[in-house]
Amino acid sequence: MTLLKSKKFLIAVVFFVILYFLLSFIVAFTAFSIGEETYKFSPSDLGIPYEEIQIEIDNTFISTWWIPANSETTVIMLHGLRSQKASPEMLEKIKIFNDTGLSVIAIDFRNHGLSGEGNFTFGIDEINDVYTTINYFYENKGLNSFGIWGFSYGATTALFSGLEFYNQTSNVELLGIFAESPYLDLLEVFTDQVAYRTPLNITMANLLKPGTIYLTNLVFDFDFNSVKKSFGNKNEISFPTVVVSCAKDEIVPASQSRKIVQILGLNATYEEFDKCNSHGGALNSEPERYRKILENLFK
């Protein structure tokens, strides 16, 4: 009888260990699952002239749209995770920038949209996509005054780009950075999503963190804490920076944006949209306020 109980106990332990690592792997796999869907939309659908330019980088390429206007300032636009420059949300923003008279360069990050494959590191290595784009347009179009706008994944990448800007570029100026809903703690974002989208509560989801970190390192050779560590290892940002967040963002908590602003220092300001209750919903919740922030930063 004792032997039978021991076997049952051992089977139960093995079952829960397997279940634990299976759920942890699902969290890790979900984080790195980008998808291959590409949108067929373009600025021409909105009556906006543009030029499609492919830029070579490290045995791959970056797909960009060059949308000139009567402005000395050009804004680099960086989309969110699993998105692309041709998404309806990005095209909406492109039209706003174009309407305000700003020139725009919209890019597809590596592994997204029409760009080629490359390292996927949630913004850490993707800064090279930004620097390569800026240097290309300086050398080939004579552009030397830039702003950077980014959303979520693109927002974190924009901030990292600003923190290293003058080490990676030359003869160009950065007027400012508009970072909408950047993330600081990736692990919190993805475990919160597990609790939000599955029957697991937040306590149970948090128990998956050690397993998720272990499997992400093992399978994807990536440290889920590296984004947070990278922010901690940088100096304060040297450029005017506005960090925007929705008060009730269901993907990236507003608390992460507030912490980022504290890390960035005196050149960073925080704008919370109280009427906004969805990830990426700041513009639609208060369009005039959003536009005013853009214009004050980039013009």
**All structural domains of the chain with their residue ranges:** 45-186+226-298
Nearest-5° Cα angle at 201, 194 to 152: 35
CATH superfamily of 45-186+226-298: Alpha/Beta hydrolase fold, catalytic domain (3.40.50.1820)
Condensed to tens digits (0 to 9), the pLDDT of residues 233-290 reads 878 999 999 999 999 998 999 999 999 999 999 999 999 999 998 999 999 999 999 9
Specify the amino acid at residue 242.
V
pLDDT, averaged across the chain = 90
CA distance 201 to 192: 9
Mean pLDDT score, 127-133: 96
Dihedral, CA atoms, 34, 186, 158, 79, nearest 10 degrees? 30
Mean pLDDT score, 136-149: 96
pTM score? 0.91
Tell me which of 199-203, 210-214, 260-264 is least confident.
199-203
Q: Is 45 exposed, middle or buried (0-12, 13-18, 19+ CB in 10 A)?
A: exposed
pLDDT of 19 reads: 83
pLDDT of 198 reads: 62
Q: Is the dihedral of CA 59, 64, 68, 71 positive or negative?
A: negative
CA distance 259 to 192: 18
Beta-bridged to residue 173, according to DSSP, are 145
pLDDT of 17 reads: 82
Asked whether the predicted pLDDT for residue 85 surpasses 60, the reply is yes
pLDDT of 255 reads: 95
Residue 245's φ and ψ, nearest 5 degrees, are: -145, 150
pLDDT of 281 reads: 94
| More confident: 16 or 227 | 227
CA distance 63 to 5: 61
Asked whether the predicted pLDDT for residue 35 surpasses 90, the reply is no
Looking up tokens 């980022």 gives 260
Q: Are strands 145-151 and 103-107 parallel, antiparallel or unpaired?
A: unpaired
What does DSSP assign to residue 108? P
CB atoms under 10 Å from CB of 70, counted, come to 7
Closest CA to 283 of 91, 73, 131: 91
Beta-bridged to residue 151, according to DSSP, are 180
pLDDT of 125 reads: 94
Closest CA to 245 of 197, 277, 289, 268: 277
Asked whether the predicted pLDDT for residue 210 surpasses 90, the reply is no
253 near 188, Cβ under 8 Å? yes
Q: Are strands 51-57 and 60-67 parallel, antiparallel or unpaired?
A: antiparallel
CA distance 279 to 249: 5
Dihedral, CA atoms, 119, 121, 123, 124, nearest 10 degrees? -90
Mean pLDDT score, 88-98: 95
pLDDT of 58 reads: 82
Tell me which of 156-160, 164-168, 175-179 is least confident.
164-168
